[in-house]
Amino acid sequence: MARRIPSLNALRAFEAAGRHGRMTLAAEELNVTHSAVSRQIQHLEDVLGAPLFEGPKNRLRLTDAGRTLLTGLVAAFDQIDLSVRAVADTEDGPLDVSCPGTFTMRWLIPRLYRFQAEYPNIDVRLTASSRPVDFSRDGFDVAIRVGAAPWPEGAEVIGLFPEQTGPVLSPLLGDVVSSRFGGMPLLHTRTRLRAWDDWLARSGIAVDGGARVEYEHFYFMLEAAGAGLGVCVAPWPYVTDDIRNGRLVAPLGFIESGHEYVALRRARRNRKSTLFCDWLRQEANAFSASHPAKTAKGAGTRPSQAQ
């Protein structure tokens, strides 16, 4: 049996108007006139035999039929968009990138202007996430993650740099290294509750820590450390600029955590993701070469002030 599908233009006009709640905004999105959107919706209502909007023209509301149709159309157009982007191979248009929120704020965004300057037609859309990647479910082109193998099956893995972590705190707290932090609060984040335990086990250093304080997000914890509320264990990429600017100090240096930062890419390559991953690799190499983390005591060398 043949499918009974109304005009695609009419469906697009209704979906945009229903999503925005105003026909003028739908017209701007579709680059047509307000009257063109209105005519397409009227045609769709005639074909379906049911009203999709109700109320005065300046305060239109979806009818029950309109809400039902909109729900299905939004999902359908999203799927069409994903399917088209899955096979498109151009250097123009959006590139969806998923990466941990604090890494995005502290490392990726401060460097992203260089990629945008070189490839202005690629629209990098960032989504904050640390959850396991499933390219069959997720619409991302590239996902940056920190962890250890095994990585998701079917994903191409581009290594960026090993993770190094160490205790950091505000220089306003003075010299507390000799007493190994002298009962200061040990700050934790719920997104990595074992950071202190893992660092202590790997470094072999004993600390005289005080109360345990937890923060919901990594960047909350880093802000608390910068404000002098305690000492936290942080990855080197997250605090490089703060240490260079003197906002934080890392008196015991950094050691490898056993994790690695990687870029995961769909098995089916496209030019946009290839260009982005090549750029990421170059940035990672430059970062590792110009900002070497210092090794902690107990791991083989004497710590020094990170530069």
Same domain, 108 and 185: no
pLDDT of residue 101: 93
Contacts of residue 36, Cβ cutoff 8 Å, sequence gap at least 6: 13, 27
The answer as to whether 226 is a domain residue is: yes
Domain finish residue from 38, 66, 87: 87
Cα 110 to Cα 114: distance, rounded to the nearest angstrom = 9
Domain finish residue from 51, 71, 87: 87
Global confidence as pTM: 0.67
What is the CB-side half-sphere exposure of residue 236 using CA atoms within 13 A?
27
Same domain, 186 and 249: yes
Same domain, 172 and 251: yes
pLDDT of residue 117: 96
Confirm if 189 and 220 have CB atoms less than 8 A apart: yes
| Residue 16 DSSP one-character state | H
Burial class (CB in 10 A: 0-12, 13-18, 19+), 151: middle
Amino acid 33 reads T
The answer as to whether 299 is a domain residue is: no
List residues bridging with 192 in a β-sheet: 189
Same domain, 244 and 175: yes
Domain finish residue from 87, 117, 135: 87
- Give the domain extent around 21: 8-87
Same domain, 115 and 149: yes
The answer as to whether 268 is a domain residue is: yes
Same domain, 198 and 49: no
Cα 277 to Cα 290: distance, rounded to the nearest angstrom = 20
Element (H, E) at 48: helix 34-48
| Domain harbouring 19, CATH code | 1.10.10.10
Confirm if 78 and 45 have CB atoms less than 8 A apart: no
Nearest to 164 by CA among 207, 116, 199, 200: 199
Same domain, 101 and 150: yes
The answer as to whether 199 is a domain residue is: yes
Same domain, 50 and 168: no
- As given in the structure block, the two tokens for residue 156 are 């191409």
Same domain, 189 and 111: no
- As given in the structure block, the two tokens for residue 262 are 């990687």
Q: Where are the alpha helices (DSSP H) in 142-250?
A: 195-203, 218-226, 236-244
Task: Output the tens digit of pLDDT for each of the chain's 307 residues.
Answer: 456 778 889 999 999 998 988 888 888 888 889 899 899 999 998 988 999 998 887 778 899 999 999 999 888 888 887 676 666 655 557 899 999 999 999 999 999 999 999 999 999 999 999 888 888 777 889 999 999 888 888 789 999 999 999 999 999 886 655 557 888 999 999 989 999 999 999 999 988 888 999 999 999 999 999 999 999 999 999 999 999 999 999 989 999 999 999 999 987 768 899 999 999 999 999 999 876 666 655 443 333 333 3
List residues bridging with 161 in a β-sheet: 261
Same domain, 130 and 152: yes
| Domain harbouring 179, CATH code | 3.40.190.10
Residue the block writes with tokens 């990421």:
280
Cα 275 to Cα 290: distance, rounded to the nearest angstrom = 23
Domain count, the chain: 3
Same domain, 142 and 280: yes
The answer as to whether 303 is a domain residue is: no
Cα 175 to Cα 185: distance, rounded to the nearest angstrom = 15
